[in-house]
Structure 1
Amino acid sequence: MSRVRTRPTRDDTRDKLFEAAARVFEEDGIGGASIEAIAAAAGFTRGAFYSNFNSKDELIIAMLEDHVEQSIRRNMDILAQHDNLDDFIAALRTMDRSRQDPLGRSPLLHMEMILYVARAEKRRPELAKRLRARRKLIADIVEATLKSNGKNNALNPPWMASVVLALEDGFRLHRLIDPETTPADSFLRAITDLRRRTGLAAG
């Protein structure tokens, strides 16, 4: 009989560190969170942390990268099922955040982490890389929607993607500052309004 593996894989360890880091960041703040606290929250030693990441900043970059990769896969899966923009937005509204990665479950923590990394100028190119990946995803969704509806629209998908992402990040920041007047669905409501105004209507 084959032996049952009891040691976690590298991906398992990273996922547990991501989950633990999110909890510690929310409790202690990103700046105040220590590597020791993150490792302990994950049930690992400090050495286990350093076998995966060289620093807290590297962990944060990895979390942001993982979030973008998962977001792209998730949105492309939804697009494959709903090439109609109204249906796509409706699917986003009903998406179960509890099954997402830590930053998907907590958009505010995602924004805080972006701002934290952006404070270091040398790290900004890494953020730019992920921003471009997000922008391309949205541009692909806009272009696919236009084609599926048989529209030869004059809209510029890359520019529309920039507008959409600016709205998304803006509403995240507004909700961080003033959650009482910024409902959780503000971004999707804005996208629905934008869709109606630009003629990106269902076929």
Structure 2
Amino acid sequence: MSRVRTRPTRDDTREKLFEAAARVFEEQGIGGASIEAIAAAAGFTRGAFYSNFKSKDELIIAMLEDHVEQSMRRIRDLLERHKSLADFIDALKTMDRSQQDPLGRSPLLHMEMILFVARAEKRRPELAKRLRARKKLVTDIIETTARNSGRTTILNPTWAGALVLALEDGFRLHRLIDPETTPPDSFFRAIGDLQRAMGISSA
């Protein structure tokens, strides 16, 4: 009889390394975390780490890329199921963060990793690529919800998408630093104000 394959797939290994790296980064800091510590936390050898990533920087870039891809997939799925802007925003509000990837569950770590990569000028194009993908997604959402409501927007959708993304990142940072004066619904309240300014119906 043939033996059942029990060795983890490449995707399984990467996912375990992502989860382990998130834990180690939060405990030891991104700069202080070693490849050995990350591999050990994932239950792998140093060799297993290097069979997937050439360096810690490459691991971080992969984690950021995975986060953006998963976030975009979840949001596009929500947009497909919730056609009106009001329903879509309600679905966003109730999204289960515990089911997300490590960076989705920890906004602070996500921001720390972005800043860590941004310190290396040669790595910034990697971040810019993902930022543009996020902007494109938000622009698509604005155009789709406006079209579904039968209205046209006052603001250029691309510029409106940049505004929405800046609001999201800004309120996330403010919430981390000063939660007392930044309510959890600050971003969505701002979206409501922006929505009215753009003349998009919520129906």
In structure 1, what residue type is equivalent to 2:3? R
Report the CA distance shift for 1:28/1:195 in structure 2 as closer, same or farther (over 3 A): same
Alignment of 1:118-137 (within 5 A): 118-137=118-137
Judge conservation of contact 2:152–2:199 (CA < 8 Å) in 1: no
Alpha-carbon distance in structure 2 between the residues aligned to 1:37 and 1:180: 36
Judge conservation of contact 1:111–1:172 (CA < 8 Å) in 2: no
Return the offset for 1:109: 1.0
Q: Residue 94 of structure 1 corresponds to which residue in structure 2?
A: 94
SS in 2 for 1:167: helix
Report the CA distance shift for 1:185/1:152 in structure 2 as closer, same or farther (over 3 A): closer
Q: Residue 178 of structure 1 corresponds to which residue in structure 2?
A: 178
In structure 2, what residue type is equivalent to 1:69? E
Q: Residue 3 of structure 2 corresponds to which residue in structure 1?
A: 3
State the Cα deviation string for residues 48-95 of structure 1 (Å, max 9, x = none): 001000110000000000011111110000000112111111001100
Alpha-carbon distance in structure 1 between the residues aligned to 2:90 and 2:101: 21
In structure 1, what residue type is equivalent to 2:78? I
CA RMSD of aligned residues (A): 1.3
Q: Residue 80 of structure 1 corresponds to which residue in structure 2?
A: 80
Alignment of 1:16-165 (within 5 A): 16-165=16-165
Alpha-carbon distance in structure 2 between the residues aligned to 1:100 and 1:27: 20
Q: Could you list the runs of 5+ residues in structure 2 that have no partner in the other structure?
A: none
Return the offset for 1:42: 0.5
In structure 2, what residue type is equivalent to 1:131? L
Counting aligned pairs with the same residue, the percent is 78
- TM-score, normalising length: structure 2: 0.95
Judge conservation of contact 2:153–2:198 (CA < 8 Å) in 1: no
Judge conservation of contact 1:65–1:130 (CA < 8 Å) in 2: yes
State the Cα deviation string for residues 79-134 of structure 1 (Å, max 9, x = none): 00112111111001100011111111111111111111101110000000000000
Comparing 25-34 and 7-16, the one that deviates more: 25-34
Return the offset for 1:188: 2.3
Q: Residue 167 of structure 1 corresponds to which residue in structure 2?
A: 167
SS in 2 for 1:38: helix
State the Cα deviation string for residues 20-61 of structure 1 (Å, max 9, x = none): 011111111111111111111101011100100011000000
Alpha-carbon distance in structure 1 between the residues aligned to 2:188 and 2:36: 38
Report the CA distance shift for 1:36/1:183 in structure 2 as closer, same or farther (over 3 A): farther
Alpha-carbon distance in structure 2 between the residues aligned to 1:12 and 1:157: 38
Judge conservation of contact 2:152–2:200 (CA < 8 Å) in 1: no
Instruction: List structure 1 segments (4+ residues) > 3 angstroms apart after TM superposition.
Output: none
Return the offset for 1:2: 5.1
Alpha-carbon distance in structure 2 between the residues aligned to 1:186 and 1:18: 30
Judge conservation of contact 1:24–1:41 (CA < 8 Å) in 2: yes
